[in-house]
Every structure is written in structure tokens, then in C-alpha cells.
Amino acid sequence: SQKAQEAGADGLLLVSPYYNKPSGKGMLEHFRSIHEATDLPIMLYNIPGRTGVEIPVEVLCELAALPR
């Protein structure tokens, strides 16, 4: 994500981490750490049929409270 920002990206489309299938808390920390590492707007790709993992509603609500 930092490299994308350095290359001039306008925003980030982030997919849920599907290889290690983290808990809801793990997903929250994953996305929060990316949010803190860049200044770009973030959109989450939450299509469980494609990723095999659903971002829990509670996690989405907490992430929605972040500035980007």
C-alpha cells in the first residue's frame, strides 16, 4: 500500500486476508495497520464468494469510524 501511494495511486482497494483467515480482531488490526501506514482513501473488497472470507459486520463498523 505504501508503494502504491508512492507510485501515485488515488486510493486503495483492499481484499480481506484470505490465505491465513484471521479472526475478526486480526482483520481489524490488518486493515487498521494499513490505514495508519498510508494517507490514501480505502475501500474494502468484501465478497466472500470470491475470497472465501467475510469481514464481520462488527469489524466493518469499527473500520468505518476511521478517517479514511
Q: Find, among 20, 3, 4, 14, the residue nearest to 63 by Cα.
A: 14
Which residue, 65, 66, 57, 59, is CA-closest to 26? 59
Angle at CA 52, nearest 5°, toward 23 and 45? 85
* pLDDT attached to residue 19: 85
List, in sequence order, the alpha helices (H) in 1-68. 2-6, 24-37, 48-51, 57-64
Q: Binning pLDDT at 50, 70 and 90, where does residue 41 land?
A: very high
Query: What's the rounded mean pLDDT across residues 40-55?
Result: 93
Query: Can you give the pTM of this predicted structure?
Result: 0.88
Greater pLDDT, 21 or 43: 43
